[in-house]
Structure 1
Amino acid sequence: MTSSQINQDPIIQSDVNSAVWAACDTFRGTVDPSIYKDFILTMLFLKYISDVYQDEYDNLVAQYGDNPALIQAMMAKQRFVLPKGASFWDCYEKRHEAGNGQRIDQALHAIEEANGTKLKNVFQDISFNTDKLGQEKQKNEILRHILEDFGKDVLNLRPSRVGSLDIIGNAYEYLIKHFAAGSGKSAGEFYTPPEVSDLLAAILEPKEGDEICDPACGSGSLLMKCGRMVRNNFDGSKKYALYGQEAIGSTWALAKMNMFLHGEDNHRIEWGDTIRHPMLLEKDTSGLLHFDIVTANPPFSLDKWGHEGAADDEFGRFRRGVPPKTKGDYAFISHMIETLKPESGRMGVVVPHGVLFRASSEGKIRKQLIEENLLDTVIGLPEKLFFGTGIPAAILLFKKNKTDNNVLFIDASREFKSGKNQNQLTTDNIQKIINTYKARETTDKYSYLATFDEIKENDFNLNIPRYVDTFEEEAEIDLVAVRTERVQLQNELQTLEVEMQGYLKELGYGA
């Protein structure tokens, strides 16, 4: 072990964040961020499990140094098993030799095999031995630099140094956020802004014992916010379970690694298309699993979502109607509604504003959801809040156990912190929404509690301005005062003209 591997200096979150972001410099200018983000995030995961494993091994040697068989048996029961030669440090020590890409890939494959279902297929979409990193010599050099970046003192991630802090999980989220900010339209496929996740988690109020699902989970950040809410509100309790499904293989892998880095071992994240092939099913009946909380930020108005098979859906998810072929918003909403537990089910989903008022098949589905008294609240959000799109969005909240048949409308679209490319909800903005949601009252130019009859009169159109009047009256114009001021200005202008004529005459320009 080198001194960098046993460094016990205090760990600072900002230093770790800066170090992992700086590691991206090795790729910049050579490889596109959409490609190298997977290398960076996977390397952080490999470094983390290697440091944890080595830390535990050193502790056991210190205690049972004279009993290697016992040490070996105890290491086989660790959270993650690292086969011989498969750790980060094994790759690091051979970094100056040829074949870095192949060595790292072999290490990841060996770790997958050694950890059974826990890490099955997690690394299948990532290969460090790829031509995307250039010819062999360039690739080997890039990977040597990456190994050295993650081998620095500041990225010593041993539990004996990190303690109970969520340093590694926070660093992973920090990276994902920065990659999302620079990923354009594709960012929405794997990341929900933390302020929106905070808002959804606070409103849905996850409790001990809750089963929580995100059927379009991306990197898993929204799910983990809900888990953290339980821990924060129930003395660190981990009596909850997280479920998710993600269609894109590389993003599913991010979610799996993200869960483990945050210590969320009680999760079930499936890989597959939620609408075409839902995989969170009951074992005995093959019916859909049901959850206390279902929340998601699904892709907006997804084209080719699975319309062709929806009418004959074996789970009956589209009994209220089949959404349009080129807009899958109500496909996700319909799926989520059908996975709510009958008594405790509550749901929050991010949608584009068209979901609130589009007619035809969407209008019929919306009408029935309201008539079934499932819709609880509509929250309008500011524009430019989500990565990859500048359009404003809304949050729809549904409940299975509503105590009235009203719907609360909140217009939070005008309250945000403005940024160059991205707007943000501040802590005060979020708290105002939460307070208004809990009070469930009409407030001037911000919220309106609409009755079922009022919504029916509006043909079940949920467009927020129909309910929340944000019109600001302009101040009355005093025409007499305006005329008096105009006459005064004319007189002043005449006086100035006379003075100017005098000056011009003195200078010899006068008539």
Structure 2
Amino acid sequence: MSESTKDLKTALWNSANVMRGTMGAEDYKSYLLGLIFYKYLSDKLLYSLVDLLDEKANTLDEALEIYRKNYEDESMRNDLVSELKHQISFVLKPDLTFTALINKINDNTFQLEELSQGFRDIEQSDETFKDLFQDLDIYSTKLGNTPPKRNQMISNVMQELSQINITVHEGDMLGDAYEYLIGEFASDTGKKAGEFYTPQPVSKLMTQIVFNGKKDVSGFTIYDAAMGSGSLMLNAKKCSNEANTVIYFGQELNTSTYNLARMNMILHGVPVENQNLHNGDTLDKDWPVDEPTNFDAVVMNPPYSANWSADKGFMTDPRFSMYGALPPKSKADYAFLLHGFYHLKNTGVMAIVLPHGVLFRGNAEGKIRQKLLEDGAIDTVIGMPAGIFYNTSIPTTVIILKKKEREKRDVLFIDASKEFKKGKAQNTMNDEHLDKILDAYMKRITIDKFAYLASFDEIKENDFNLNIPRYVDTFEEEEPIDLGEVTAEIAKITKEIKSSQESLIEMLQELVGNDDESKAELKSAINNLMEEDMEKIEEDGEKSE
């Protein structure tokens, strides 16, 4: 673990503990991530300013002084603000930067209105930032019953977060922060982990599959209709050789999480023109409906077995109409799957995480599954290990779908349920595990006790049941027992017991009782041991006869 990651986790832990006494994890998670993002933007502004002026600054305080000096120069201010907006799309006054506010906190002169004004200034700088901080109600009584208490609460949290050096953090900072908060405090939220975050190993596996053979494609489009924090589809940046050209389409129902995904896009440096995010109900109303509507890749980790309306009107919806049935109201798993599949290009690949029940449940789900199999849509079924998602131990499956007609309509089954590293609170998967799965996916052959390529006829004979144990036999026969060795071992142990018993009798015979009662007890113990010894000799004699 890098030092920057340790610093991030330490700051988050301390910040969360500051807030845990007054609110639940779902609330303080939004505050922490929003304030981290504000710090990120503020620090980025100061560092950009220093570069713009070709100055040198070893600390944020030094950068702030350079900014303040030039901002106060009226002949410089307008050009400076204009150039900053051009480069980073937003601007903050020097006194509203995170660094300046920390200095005021240390001087006991900080007021919440200053932070609130900073939020407004960023939101009004550009359409990209519109309503980005709308969920951060810094005047909420959850932060304290009185204005001074709320002021102190935010001050304490900002002081903890000021320890993070955002510029040196490796990887997905907001995603790392989100993952850490869920991992440490998910039990406080009372929510299913699958609803808002996909662990990085699972994201990596899915993204590598959908990018297989397409890493050099420019303008690659990727869609996540239940995007959560956006981390799943943002893995595209790590897989594509044309990362700056990847175009992202994502939808999220929860407004707070939707804004988090927007922050994540900005933190990853995704160009504004490549961001196409929408706040809405994926199943209730189709999106996108304007061009483009079909994508090179679809990746999804929707909430498992969620409720949805299943209104009869959806039978005429082109997303569901060709399957002859609607997913049940209490289990929207196939509704998410069909929605994503509908938006997949004919040459595209889809990867979706769902609970194992989708592989074998009957009725409407059985009809939908059969239609998908008859169309050759289901390409691969991967059984994932249990305990790799936060706050749930449920084992999951990654289903790979393709639209391009496959004449054979065969399905590759991979049982990766044992491909994990045991963790104290949560299991994880390393590159060795992922490489083994990807290798099997690429080779598409039967591998003893790990993968099985099933023909369509075989699946049909199984009534279109895709339960993995029906196809991948992982049974390990126990090694045959050598009865001769067992008998010899028993004889050896018996001899050792007899020897120990004889030694014990000899030791007891050397003891002398102090009174009649103790003498009687000692004699009785010796006689019992000797009788047991005689009985054993007689038993051994009978066996030998």
TM range (shorter): 0.7 to 0.9
Residue in 1 aligned with 2:91?
Answer: 82
User: For 2:123, what is the secondary structure of its paired residue?
Assistant: helix
Would the alpha carbon gap of residues 384 and 151 (structure 1) be closer, same or farther in structure 2, given more than 3 Å must change?
Answer: closer
Amino acid of the structure 2 residue aligned with 1:271: N
| Partner in structure 2 of residue 462 of structure 1 | 466
- State the shift of 1:446 in Å: 0.6
Kindly provide the CA deviation profile for residues 383-424 of structure 1, in whole angstroms up to 9, marking residues without a partner as x: 101112101111100112365421111111012100111001
TM-superposed CA distance for 1:79, in Å, is: 2.5
**Alpha-carbon offset, residue 138 of structure 1:** 1.8
User: CA, structure 1 residues 61+278, in 2 after alignment: closer, same or farther (shift >3 Å)?
Assistant: same
- For 2:505 and 2:101, the matched residues in 1 are separated by 88
Among 9, 13, 31, the alignment partner of 2:4 is 13
Q: Corresponding residue for 1:176?
A: 178
2:363 is aligned to: 360
Name the structure 1 match of 2:278: 270
Q: What residue in structure 2 maps to residue 215 of structure 1? A: 225
Any residues of structure 2 matched to 1:109-148 within 5 Å, and which? 109-116=120-127, 118-135=128-145, 136-148=147-159
Tell me which of 248, 253, 258 is aligned to 1:252: 258
What is the distance in 2 between the residues matched to 1:402 and 1:436?
22
Provide, for residues 449-497 of structure 1, a one-character-per-residue CA deviation record: whole Å limited to 9, x for no partner: 1111111111111111110111111122344554454455445545554
* 2:19 paired residue among 18, 27, 45: 27
Equivalent of 1:199 in 205, 208, 215 = 205
Partner Cα separation in structure 2 for residue 128 and residue 306 of structure 1:
35
Structure having the higher Rg: 2
Q: 1:485 to 1:148 in 2, by over 3 A?
A: closer
Moved more, 193-202 or 99-108: 99-108
The answer on whether the counterparts of 1:108 and 1:123 sit within 8 Å (CA) in structure 2 is yes
Distance change (3 Å), C-alpha of 1:79 and 1:113: same
Q: Is the 8 A contact 2:236 2:243 kept in 1?
A: no
Pair 1:435 & 2:439 matched? yes
- Contact 1:20–1:175 (Cα < 8 Å) also in 2: no
User: Does residue 302 of structure 1 match 2:306?
Assistant: yes
TM-score (norm 1): 0.86
* C-alpha distance 33-504 of structure 1, shift in aligned 2 (>3 A): same
Taking a change above 3 Å as real, the CA distance of residues 352 and 149 of structure 1, as seen in their structure-2 partners, is: same
Describe the SS at the equivalent of 1:238: helix
Query: How far has the Cα of 1:70 moved from its partner?
Result: 3.2
In structure 2, the gaps of 5 or more residues are: 56-69, 513-521, 528-545
| Segment drifting more, 198-207 vs 76-85 | 76-85
- Partner Cα separation in structure 2 for residue 71 and residue 260 of structure 1: 22
Distance 2:463 2:281 in 1: 33
**Counterpart position of 2:539:** none
Q: Which residue of 2 aligns with 1:5?
A: none
Q: Could you tell me which residue of structure 2 aligns to residue 8 of structure 1?
A: none
Aligned 8 A contact 1:105 1:129 in 2: no
Higher helix share: 2
Indicate how the Cα distance of structure 1 residues 16 and 214 shifts in structure 2: closer, same or farther if over 3 A, else same.
Answer: same
Contact in 2 for aligned 1:322/1:331 (Cα 8 Å): yes
The AA in structure 2 aligned to 1:348 is A
Shift of 1:256: 0.6
Matching of residue 56 in structure 1 with residue 48 in structure 2: yes
Change beyond 3 A, Cα 1:439–1:262:
same
- Please provide the CA RMSD for this pair: 2.7
Aligned length: 481
Overall identity of the aligned pairs, in %: 36
CA–CA distance in structure 2, aligned partners of residues 122 and 137 of structure 1 = 26
Are 2:250 and 1:239 aligned? Answer: no
CA-CA distance at 1:18 after TM superposition: 4.4
Q: Tell me the equivalent position of 2:535.
A: none
1:45 aligns with 2:29: no
Give the structure 2 partner of residue 7 of structure 1. Answer: none
The alignment status of 1:371 with 2:361, answered yes or no, reads: no
Which residue among 222, 238, 243 is the counterpart of 1:228? Answer: 238
